[in-house]
Chains A and B, each alone.
Chain A
Amino acid sequence: MVAIDTESTLPATDGRAPDAVEAEARAIFESAADAIFVVTGETFVYCNPETLRMFRCSHDQITGRSPGEFSPPTQPGGGSSAALASERMSAALAGPHQVFEWRHARLDGTEFDAEVSLSRIEWGGAPHIFAIVREITDRKVAEAALRESEDQLRKIFEQSPMAMAIVGLDGTIERINRKAIDTFGYLPEDLPTMDAWWTLAYPDPAYRKVVMDTWMGLVAEALAENREIEGREYRVTCKDRTLKTMSILGVPVAGKVFVMFGDVTERTRAEERLRHLNTELERRVQERTSELERANVELGSFAYSASHELRAPIARMQGFSREIIQNVARGDLDSLAFCADRIDASCRAMRSVIDSLLLLTRLSRAEIAHERIDLSTMAAEIVLRLVDPAASRAPTVTIAPDLTLEGDRALWDICLQNLIENALKFSAKHPTPEIEVGARGAGPSRVYHVRDNGAGFDMAFAAKLFQPFCRLHGEAEFRGTGVGLAIAHRIVERHGGHLWAEAAPDRGATFFFTVGG
């Protein structure tokens, strides 16, 4: 015990010898973990050893000073320490017990937080202040840490990129974060309780029941097994009536449920798209497979018709050769020139079949150039090449001006020549043959045509028209390899367009074509 005022003694309180009582009291004060001191006026009159230890000063240093001097000039909450200390002490003297937090400062300048309890005591017949000071720096640090941690949690919750809500087990929605508001459009006041959420987020009663049953079941399981609420996908209706697919899961924490919402709308859509793409791919593979099968069949039948086209002139050459042999054997030389001429014709026919076949094959592989083509000029030049204007029944050819298209000049020349040749050939027997090259419409849907007023054909055979070696007219009637239209067709297709024909027997034919974009 350190007696500052050596005159002072602790008062006797019960019937025991004052010395014994004082010795006990001293022992209590001296072993106390709190600073205990007595102040009169504003000056220390008594302090225990813990006071000296807490304020890190000696007995001499504390003598005559006031508690206000062991404080920084101002308190953390603002206000002068001296004034506040006087206030507290006056209040304690006036009666009520004062308990408050106080920032103390030691003489060496270091500061510490304390919880101070002041009460009035009558000591030696005069009112004194009895003070108990407990250092609470650790508690303050812990409180600050807790506050900081809570603050961080609040920030994490508030700024989380994931929509979150905190729900009481009684169904109160205590808090929803910014992302949740952004995601669903509902404001906290729209969602005071889970009942409000169920009604707004799942307006369809049937679906709402499914969702509620699912969620409640998962919550019950989670609580029973002390684990998180399993995530499930739900279709949530937002405030603007859009539907979002959300993966919702929760964690029960201290009588609340921490709910997290992951927006999987895009993922669900992407999965949907992927599924769709897969189906589409599957369909296209099948389509392509059947296309290939069809192409194989076509190729097989093409091989037979091509081989027939080559065998036929060989058979003729063989026939006329035998004719020559037999006629020579009989001494008949008159027919030799005729037979030789027919053999020559077969040779030429065969050569043109071979040329056509090669062209047709090359067409499938040729690189397609893209250039602007003046189709009117091209048609005029073709007509000049093919038509002898001095011929007795020269056709009237009309070519619309300014016909242009994009494509491969060399291929379009072949295509157009075949179409015009075809028109010339089949109108040749008409008394006044007429051929017209023109177009209708604009842009990618522009349809070009080559029209004649010749023999035409029955539309029942239109499907065969573009098959190689398929003739709708007898060879005797109209000469040709039977590949011209197949070539024209292939060229139009290679440009991404379509070629088709409309005709009627003896009423002419019109070949239409488009050029793909």
Chain B
Amino acid sequence: MGELRVILVEDNGDDEFLALRELARAGIVDVVVARDGAAAVALLEAIDRSEEGRHATPDFVLLDLQLPKLDGIEVLRRLRADAGTQGLRVFVLSSSEDPGERRACTALGVLGFLPKPLDEAGIALCREATAASR
């Protein structure tokens, strides 16, 4: 398995730092960070439309739910509505346990829920689910 390419959508600096450290410890260093929902959607849509689209497409997206401007669920909705991004693997990384949010995420095809702080077990789950869905 080659290097995994990840997009992290996270607005909190500390959470970003901690997630990046954990990913790095797991050997994942190809990470692009989007710091709000709108930036995430723009980033993902731009990647898909770029020349090297297929290559640049991330293996998975780690998505926080509490985001300014567009919240995580709205981001998911937009990704699923766009032919180029609807197949993206998305894991929710959140300290929220709102069951309503979870149901909405599941309905939008989220592969898993990871509690913060991100840890080895969370990353292992992402790897397995990603490999299984290839």
Contact = CB atoms under 8 A, between A and B. Distances in A.
* Mutual binders A and B: yes
A458 B94 CA distance: 25
Interface residues of B, number: 28
A322 B95 contact: no
B17 to A, nearest CB: 8
Contacts of B15: 312, 315-316, 319
A475 B13 contact: yes
B115 interface: yes
Interface string B62-94: 000011110000000000000000000000001
A449 to B, nearest CB: 24
Interface stretch (A193-201, A205-213, A466-474): A466-474
A323 B97 contact: no
Given A312-B116, A315-B115, A320 B98 contact: no
A278 interface: no
Residue among B11, B21, B35, B68 having the largest count of chain A Cβ atoms under 10 Å: B68
A200 B25 CA distance: 101
Interface string A298-327: 000100110110011011101110110010
B18 interface: yes
Contacts of A304: 96-98, 100-101
B95 A476 contact: no
A466 B103 CA distance: 25
Interface of A: 301, 304-305, 307-308, 311-312, 314-316, 318-320, 322-323, 326, 342, 345-346, 458, 461, 469, 471-477
Interface of B: 11-15, 17-18, 21-22, 25, 35-36, 66-69, 94-98, 100-101, 115-119
20 contacts: A311-B96, A312-B66, A315-B95, A315-B116, A316-B18, A316-B117, A319-B117, A320-B14, A322-B117, A326-B25, A346-B14, A458-B69, A461-B69, A471-B68, A472-B68, A474-B11, A474-B35, A475-B11, A475-B68, A476-B12
Give me the 10 closest cross-chain CB pairs, A-B, nearest first: A319-B117, A315-B116, A319-B18, A311-B95, A304-B98, A474-B11, A308-B96, A315-B95, A471-B68, A474-B68
